[in-house]
Amino acid sequence: MGYRGGMTRLTGNPGELHELARYEVRPEALDQVLGAIHEFVAYVREQEPGALRYEVWQEEKQPTRFVHLFVWRDEEANRIHGESAAVKKFAGTLYPQCLKPVEFITYRQVDANAHFRRV
């Protein structure tokens, strides 16, 4: 039986987009991909205020597997991101090193234990 306390559900703000991307890269490309990830996330952090959250996680037991978690302020922020030169550069480095195409999944936030900081 689950907890049924009277706490308010944290579901994000209306209009936000919650996405996940996951992929696996060739072992010999791991250092190259990590460098590209760091460069790309630095760009997102500095140049994309509509990216409310952009995190990249690396699997511990299989370090060639990654997940990107992102929250966009709205559709426009996602569009700007997708059309940026930085995305094209990152994809040009990443995609040829992936074992399969990157899988993008859109989610609806149903709850959380805390709000994350929105810039």
Q: How many domains does the chain have?
A: 1
Does 119 map to a domain? no
Does 7 map to a domain? no
Q: Can you give the pLDDT at residue 1? A: 43
Q: When comparing pLDDT for 11 and 38, which is higher? A: 38
CATH number for the domain spanning 74: value is 3.30.70.100
**What is the band of 117 on the pLDDT scale with cuts at 50, 70, 90?**
low
Domain range for 40:
17-107
- Assign 16 to helix, strand or coil: coil
Q: Phi first, then psi: give them for residue 23, nearest 5 degrees.
A: -165, 165
pLDDT, one tens digit per residue, over 21-70 is 999 999 999 999 999 999 999 999 999 999 999 999 999 999 999 999 99
Does 57 map to a domain? yes
Indicate the pTM of the whole model. Answer: 0.85
Does 35 map to a domain? yes
Instruction: Pick the closest to residue 70 from 59, 60, 62, 80 (CA basis).
Output: 80
Does 40 map to a domain? yes
